[in-house]
Amino acid sequence: MLKQGLELKQQQKLSPLQIQTIKLIELPIQELEQRIRKELEENPVLDEDSPKESEDGEAPREVSLSEYKEDDTIPSYRLRSDLYSSKDDRPQYSTFSVKESFTQSLQEQLGYRNLTEHQYAVASFIIGSLDDDGYLRRSIDSIVDDLSFRANVETDEEEVLSMLKIIQEFDPAGVGARDLRECLLLQIRHCRKTPEVEHAVKILKNYFNEFTSKHFQKIMTRMNITEDELRAAMAKILKLNPSPGGQIDDSYADQAQQIVPDFLLEYKDGDLVLSMPRFSIPELRVNRKYADILIDAANSSEREKKEAAAFVKKKLDSAKWFVEAIKQRHNTLSTTMQAIVDYQHEYFIDGDETRLKPMVLKDIAEKTGFDISTISRVVNSKYIETHFGIYSLKYFFSEGLENQDGEEVSTRELKKALQECVDNEDKHKPLTDDELVEKMTEKGYKVARRTIAKYRDQLGIPKARLRKEL
C-alpha cells in the first residue's frame, strides 16, 4: 500500500562570500598573504601590476569595476584593501631554513663508513626507523621483516644489530638507543674515566630502577658509597641528554617555524592601542585586457563576445567575493581581539598572570555577537605581540574556580600559585599533595587534592618522592 505525505525541511546554505570569509578567518597572517597570491594567479581578471606609462608618455586610465554593467548590475566596490596599519617597523621573519635535519645528519655520517651496498641499505633503513628523539623503539624482528617485504633486502638480526652498533657511534651521542638506560650509557662512555663516572656507569647498569625512583639510600648501601660520592655521580648523569635527536631537530624547527604576530598591542600614555600589522596585500585592479572585452561586448551582439563577457563577469564576481571576504575577515578579527583586550584589560597593562580573568569562548561570543565557532576560528593559530611578549590567543582563555572569598579566579592563576609552592619547598622534604592543598588554602585558594594532582600533572611536576634531592 502506497503512502503519500508532505515533509517540511528547513536548510541553511552559505553564500560564496560566507564560505570565503570562514576559510580566510582561520588563516594566520602569513598564510593569508599566500592565499591572496594564489587568488591572483588563478583569477586572470585581477592584476596587481601598477599601470605603466604608454609609449606616448600618458599613463593608461585606471579601470574600476564600477564602470561595467550588464543585465545584472555589478555593485561598485573597491578592490584595494587598506585595512591594516601603515606602521610596519617590526622585522619580517623568514620561514626558510638551511639547517640539515636529524635524519640528513645521520645519513651523511653513514656515507663516511666503509660499507657494502647491502650494509648501507640496512643501516639507512634503521636510520629511517628512528623516532624524532633519536630512539629506536621498533623491535629488531620487525625491522628484519620490513627490510625483506618493503625494501626487498634479505638480512638477519645479527646484521641489523651490527649496523645499529655503528649508528650508535654517530653524533649526537646516544642516538640509536632502544631505551633511556641505553641512551645514557652510550653517552657516558665518551666521558673521561673518573671515580664519579665509574660510579655513574655502575648506577645506570645495576641500579637504574632505584635511580629513577630516587631510592638513594638503597643505592648508597648496595654500592657502599657516601652521599657526596652519590651526589657527584648523579651530577654526571643529569648532565646527559635524554633526547639526543632533539639536538638537531629542535633547532631545525625553531628556524623553520617563525611566528609573525597577527595583532600588535601597544601601551601608550595609559591606553591600550590595538592594531593589525600590514603585510604584502597587493593592490588589485581589473586587467586591461579583460576590461576591453567587457567594453566590446557592451556594444556588440556577437555570441562569442557575449560568452567572453559572461566569463569575465563570473571572474569579476569571484573577485568581489574574495575582496569582501578579506574585509569581513579584518573586521571579525579586529572586533574579536578588541573584545579580548577589553575583557582582560587589567592583565594587558602589565602582563601579571594573577590579573588574568577566567574567560571562555562563550564570553567573547556574547560580547561580540559572533558565533562560538567563529571565535574559535579567530583564536586558532593567531598570535599577538604585546609590550611584555608574544602570546597565542588561546593563552588568554581559561576556566575559573572560586577562592575563599567567593571570587572567581583563573585556573592559570592557581597553577602559578601552585608552581610557586613547589619552587619554594624544601627539596630534601618535598610537599605531598595534601601538604600542597594546605599551602594553597593559606594563599586563599580553595582546591581539592585531586585538583592539585591534576594541575601538578599539567605543569609537568612529578610526585613528591620524585622531587626529592640529596
Instruction: Please indicate, yes or no, whether residues 285 and 352 belong to a single structural domain of this protein.
Output: yes
Mean pLDDT of 422-444: 84
Report yes or no on 246 lying in a domain.
no
Which of 188 and 402 is assigned the larger pLDDT?
A: 188
Q: Are residues 112 and 156 in the same domain?
A: yes
Return the CATH number at 134: 1.10.10
Q: What is the mean pLDDT of the segment spanning 261-285?
A: 76
How far is residue 250's CA from residue 241's CA, in Å, rounded to a whole number?
13
Nearest to 67 by CA among 314, 345, 285: 285
Q: pLDDT of 51-76, one tens digit each?
A: 444 344 444 444 444 444 443 333 33
Are 232 and 291 contained in the same domain? no
Asked whether residue 73 falls in the same domain as residue 127, the answer is no
Do residues 147 and 153 make contact, with C-beta atoms less than 8 angstroms apart? yes
Cell numbers representing residue 180 in the block: 633511556
319 part of a folded domain: yes
Query: In which band, very low, low, confident or very high, does the pLDDT at 161 lie, cut at 50, 70 and 90?
Result: very high
3-state secondary structure 86-127: CCCCCCCCCCCCCCCCHHHHHHHHHCCCCCCHHHHHHHHHHH
* Residue written as grid cell 653524533: 171
Using the 3D structure, point to which of 397, 412, 444 is the last residue of a domain. Answer: 397
Q: Which of 68-77, 287-296, 357-366, 396-405 has the highest mean pLDDT?
A: 357-366
Please check whether residues 263 and 349 belong to one and the same domain.
yes
**155 touches 175 (CB < 8 A):** no
Tell which phi-psi region holds residue 217, choosing left (phi > 0), alpha (psi between -120 and 50) or beta.
alpha
pLDDT, residue 164, reads 92
Of these ranges, 72-76, 153-157, 274-278, 459-463, the one predicted with the greatest mean pLDDT is: 153-157
| Domain total of the chain | 4
Q: State phi, psi for 403 to the nearest 5 degrees.
A: -90, -175
The span from the CA of 440 to the CA of 445, in Å, is: 5
Q: Which of 404, 416, 412 is nearest to 447 (CA)?
A: 404
- Shared domain check, 343 and 264: yes
pLDDT at 112: 85
User: 227, 470 in Cβ contact below 8 A?
Assistant: yes
Q: Are residues 283 and 381 located together in one domain of the fold?
A: yes
Q: Which residue among 350, 368, 397 closes a domain?
A: 397
In the predicted model, what is the mean pLDDT of the chain? 76
How do strand 263-268 and strand 285-286 relate by DSSP bridges?
unpaired
Q: Contact at 8 Å (CB) between 464 and 430? A: yes
Reduce the secondary structure of the chain to three states and give it as a string.
Answer: CCCCCCCCCCCCCCCHHHHHHHHHHCCCHHHHHHHHHHHHHHCCCEECCCCCCCCCCCCCCCCCHHHCECCCECCCCCCCCCCCECCCCCCCCCCCCCCCCHHHHHHHHHCCCCCCHHHHHHHHHHHHHCCCCCCCCCCHHHHHHHHHHCCCCCCCHHHHHHHHHHHCCCCCCCCCCCCHHHHHHHHHCCCCCCHHHHHHHHHHHHCHHHHHCCCHHHHHHHHCCCHHHHHHHHHHHHCCCCCCCHHHHHHHHHHHCCCCCCEEEEEECCEEEEECECCCCCCCEECHHHHHHHHHHHCCCCHHHHHHHHHHHHHHHHHHHHHHHHHHHHHHHHHHHHHHHHHCHHHHHHCCHHHCCCECHHHHHHHHCCCHHHHHHHHCCCEEEECCEEEEHHHHCECEEEECCCCEEEHHHHHHHHHHHHHCCCCCCCCCHHHHHHHHHHCCECCCHHHHHHHHHHCCCCCHHHHCCC
Q: Given the DSSP bridges, would you call strands 383-386 and 389-392 parallel, antiparallel or unpaired?
A: antiparallel
Domain containing 167 equals 98-172+251-256
Domain final residue pick, 213, 240, 267: 240
Q: What percent of the chain has pLDDT over 90?
A: 4
Measured in whole angstroms, the distance separating CA 447 from the mean position of its chain's CA atoms is 32
In this prediction, residue 403 carries a pLDDT of 58
Q: Tell me whether residue 56 is in a domain.
A: no
pLDDT (average), residues 263-291: 73
Q: What is the pLDDT of residue 11?
A: 52
Distances (CA, A) of 274 to 29, 66, 266, 304, 337: 16, 33, 7, 52, 8
333 with 366, same domain: the answer is yes
The whole-number pLDDT of residue 69 equals: 43
pLDDT over 70 for what percent of the chain?
A: 73
**Closest Cα to residue 336, out of 248, 295, 396?**
396
Task: Dump pLDDT digits (tens) for 22-46.
Answer: 778 888 877 888 888 888 888 877 6
The predicted-structure confidence for 322-339, as pLDDT tens digits, reads as follows 778 888 888 899 999 999
Q: Inform me whether the pLDDT recorded for 254 exceeds 70.
A: no
Give the pLDDT confidence score for residue 63 in this predicted structure: 42
Distance in angstroms (rounded) separating the CA atoms of residues 270 and 257: 34
Q: Are residues 262 and 371 in the same domain?
A: yes
Q: Is residue 7 part of a domain?
A: no
For 348-360, the pLDDT digits (tens) are 988 887 788 888 8
pLDDT tens-digit readout, 214-250: 888 888 988 898 888 888 888 888 888 888 876 544 4
Residue 3 lies in a domain: no
The predicted-structure confidence for 92-104, as pLDDT tens digits, reads as follows 433 333 345 778 8
Is residue 190 domain-resident? yes
Q: Are residues 110 and 128 in the same domain?
A: yes
* Residues 352 and 286 reside in one and the same domain: yes
Pairing of strands 46-47, 389-392: unpaired
Residues in a beta bridge with 402: 408
Query: Looking at the structure, do residues 364 and 378 belong to the same domain, yes or no?
Result: yes
pLDDT of 341: 92
Predicted pLDDT of residue 368: 92
